Amino acid sequence: MTGSLPLVVAITGASGAPYAVRLLQALVQAAQPTWLIVSEHGLRLLSTESSLDSVDALRDRVGAKAWDASVRTFDDRDRGALPASGSVRTKGMVICPCSMGTIAAISQGTSRSLVERAADVVLKERRRLVVVPRETPYSDIHLENMLRLTRAGAVVMPASPGFYHRPSRIEELVDFVVGRILDHVDVPNEMPRWTGVDPH
């Protein structure tokens, strides 16, 4: 792995597995050291939406060689792992996709897992936390919890792709969202960007 600080990435049980897979592919392509936590429901999500029945299958999909050079995995049940400590320096954290249950736990400070504890640590240490919910529509409770996170310093980035780049494939919609995530954690990328409107 490179000498740069690791980025903590978590996958939870909200719909949006293709975003998680593409995000990991982009991170290893950028040689960004990554600490990965996949919740139990996140594993079920990967199986349901991407036919990935294990973290090993995810490793193969992302690319085993690049994965081994950049990715370190942690058990979501291990609340004593490295991402749970504020004294361990990281670049921040992305939860993609992020379930509303996870958002609720983080917003209330009631961590029950490594994913939630790691997010709590990132907030208290004033590092960047990006959460990517895909729920729709939002209830008043969802909105209140997301507002609490925003006020605490997190970036709430719903998986809402743009269309100005005229996407013709699902992969292009996924890339749009992943590019926005990467921008917010300062990882260089070549994802679609607005280039202006030709008045002619």
- Residue-wise DSSP of 75-88: ETT-TTSGGG-TTS
pLDDT value at position 192?
A: 82
- Whether residue 194 is contained in a domain is answered as no
pLDDT value at position 2?
A: 45
- Whether residue 27 is contained in a domain is answered as yes
- Whether residue 87 is contained in a domain is answered as yes
**pTM for the full model?**
0.95
Task: Look at the chain and report how many structural domains it folds into.
Answer: 1
Q: Which residues, at least 6 apart from 25, have a Cβ–Cβ distance to it below 8 Å?
A: 62, 63
**HSE-up (13 A, CA, CB side) for residue 2:** 14
Domain of residue 155 covers 7-184
Residue-averaged pLDDT of the chain: 95
- Whether residue 49 is contained in a domain is answered as yes
Q: Is the pLDDT of residue 3 over 60?
A: no
121-139 mean pLDDT: 97
Question: pLDDT-based confidence at 199, cuts 50/70/90?
Answer: low
Across the chain, where does the E strand assignment appear? 7-11, 34-38, 71-75, 92-95, 128-131, 155-156
CB-neighbour burial class of residue 181 (10 A; exposed 0-12, middle 13-18, buried 19+): buried
- Whether residue 199 is contained in a domain is answered as no
Rounded Cα gap, residues 172 and 158, in angstroms: 16
- Whether residue 106 is contained in a domain is answered as yes
Q: Is the pLDDT of residue 128 over 70?
A: yes
Q: Is the pLDDT of residue 149 over 50?
A: yes
pLDDT tens digit string along 31-71?
999 999 999 999 999 999 999 999 999 999 999 999 999 99
- Whether residue 192 is contained in a domain is answered as no
pLDDT value at position 1?
A: 43
Rounded Cα gap, residues 200 and 186, in angstroms: 34
CATH code (residue 69): 3.40.50.1950
- Whether residue 189 is contained in a domain is answered as no
